[in-house]
């Protein structure tokens, strides 16, 4: 079974600074997708960024970028120019292949605090 590990239960960052959240995963598959979700206090799960395993280029979405190291099975999220609204729980998620759109494995999350 696939596992996703987020080794940082809590992180904090100063407003406008950069922070990196770590995620490692275990899989024997070659075709898979990785995601970072944000969960603010409202509980709503919001997709932040996604990465297809077959793509070597790291995904970027505005202030959010990933460092995808396939051989090391590492998928970290970098948040640049942190804003107060970035404070939330962040979950790393793995999904195997094209035909498993309904099945994701999540890490236990990292709570990010943004200090003004």
Are residues 49 and 76 in contact, defined by beta-carbon separation less than 8 angstroms? no
The residues with which 91 forms a beta bridge, in sequence order, are: 37
Least Cβ distance, residue 88 to another protein (angstroms): 14
Residues that bind another protein (CB under 8 A): 1, 4, 6, 9, 33, 35, 42-45, 47, 50, 52, 91, 93, 95, 98-109
Give the nearer residue to another protein in terms of CB position, either 54 or 81. Answer: 54
Are residues 113 and 89 in contact, defined by beta-carbon separation less than 8 angstroms? no
Least Cβ distance, residue 116 to another protein (angstroms): 26
- Backbone angle region of 109, left / alpha / beta, with phi > 0 → left and psi within -120 to 50 → alpha: left
Least Cβ distance, residue 48 to another protein (angstroms): 11
Least Cβ distance, residue 46 to another protein (angstroms): 8
Give the nearer residue to another protein in terms of CB position, either 15 or 61. Answer: 61
Torsion angle, alpha carbons of 46, 49, 53, 57, to 10: 180
């Amino acid at each position: 079974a696939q596992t996703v590990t987020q080794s940082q239960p809590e992180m904090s960052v100063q407003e406008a600074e950069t922070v990196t959240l770590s995620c490692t995963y275990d899989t024997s598959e070659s075709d898979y997708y990785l995601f970072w979700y944000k969960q603010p206090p409202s509980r709503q799960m919001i997709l932040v960024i996604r990465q297809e395993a077959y793509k070597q280029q790291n995904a970027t979405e505005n202030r959010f970028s990933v460092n995808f190291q396939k051989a090391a099975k590492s998928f970290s999220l970098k948040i640049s120019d942190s804003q107060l609204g970035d404070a939330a729980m962040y979950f790393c998620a793995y999904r195997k292949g094209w035909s498993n759109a309904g099945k994701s494995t999540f890490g236990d999350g990292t709570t990010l605090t943004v200090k003004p």
